[in-house]
Amino acid sequence: MTVVEAESFLADAESLLDQHWPRRTSDTFVWGVGSDSVAAFPEIDRVDEPAALAAARAWRRTRFDAGFGELEGEAHREYERLEARYEVPDQSFFTISLGMVAPAIEAHGSEVARDRYVRALRRGDLIGCQLFSEPGAGSDLASVTTRAERDGDGWVLTGEKVWTSGAHYSDIGEVLARTDPAVPKHAGMTAFVVDMHDPAVTIRPLRQMTGGAGFNQVFLDGVRVSDDLRLGEVDRGWSVAISTLTNERAMIGDGAARGAGIAGRSLELLAATGRRSEPVARQMAADLVVSQTVTALTNRRFRQVHGDGTAGAEVSLEKLAGALDMRRLADFASYVLGARVTADSGEWGTYSWSQLVLGEPALHLAGGTDEVIRNVIAERMLGLPR
């Protein structure tokens, strides 16, 4: 995109946004003003969720129809930076749809699946979730036991999935199932798209320690899936899973890096708690800001070298670095606030940090545990032996 094209693109985007949404009153964070939420993950109460989802869908459709729904590369990033300056509805409902499910269907789906789902996902007409993890198959994803059995020109899926984000408001799910139990576990798996509204799909909420219930258990009790909703070749689902996980790690790393941007608040937190002169707290704050800055610069360098085709191992490094930055932030807040991070006194900017402290451990599990990610980096980036 040339300079002239970029300027025209941003002018058009800004015009669209100005027509629909007010600008945020200030791009600068002011301690004690506005919301003090610093949660690691957005958590909307299920009572308020339908209205928030409807508003998010409406804006996604407007944005898509205006030509800003299928952006890639630098154009996408420029638009996202611009949109962040406006009071648009929460778009986190579409994170998994756009970051994982739509790319998987586009890369591995049949023409029927691509035509039916990709545009609908990008426009917000449909929302997708990822059905990979099981009670006995978390980091060891190849141990999935959900079965997919041939039945005429289709398949019947039976099994249980767990920790499925957004399953309760999703329309479709990308599911990994075992199609040949007689071969080594990394073989014999196949990926499919399932209808989350099918009567044979049961969804139950999982309450996490933050108090939210964004995760779910999903039971597949003989769900019928036509063969044209298979992703990739039969028994070759591991390659589909790997490409999906690569996208997930990029998505998590990106989100954690943006979330760690609240590390700048650490300086205000020091001042607000009167611990500005305490050496240990000052050192923790400095380490946090430096680490988050290095992570952001490293991510930018990867994007400059690889564009949107960042290698899987480098995506893993982004994910690990972002998760570790969030841990540093949670540790810092816990140290500085002490009991106030768990005892709600009503004081602005204190108890609210409990959402981050309780939520950030999930970043070290989702998309592969830190240990799995370190192995990927060691073997694929550093060339170390298994």
Catalytic residues: 248
Q: What is the DSSP letter of 204?
A: E
Among 140, 97, 358, which residue's Cα sits nearest to residue 248? 97
Q: What is the DSSP letter of 362?
A: G
CB burial readout 183-194, b (16+ within 10 A) else e: eebeebbbbbbb
Task: Count the Cβ atoms, other than its own, within 10 Å of residue 302.
Answer: 18
CB burial readout 316-336, b (16+ within 10 A) else e: bbbbbbbbbbbbbbbebbbeb
- Rounded CA-CA distance 133/151 in Å is 25
> Terminal CA-to-CA distance of the chain, rounded, Å?
42
Task: Count the Cβ atoms, other than its own, within 10 Å of residue 152.
Answer: 9
Residue 334, classed as helix, strand or coil, is helix
Whose tokens are 């650490």? That residue is: 266
Whose tokens are 């946004």? That residue is: 17
On whether the CB atoms of residues 22 and 68 are closer than 8 A, the answer is no
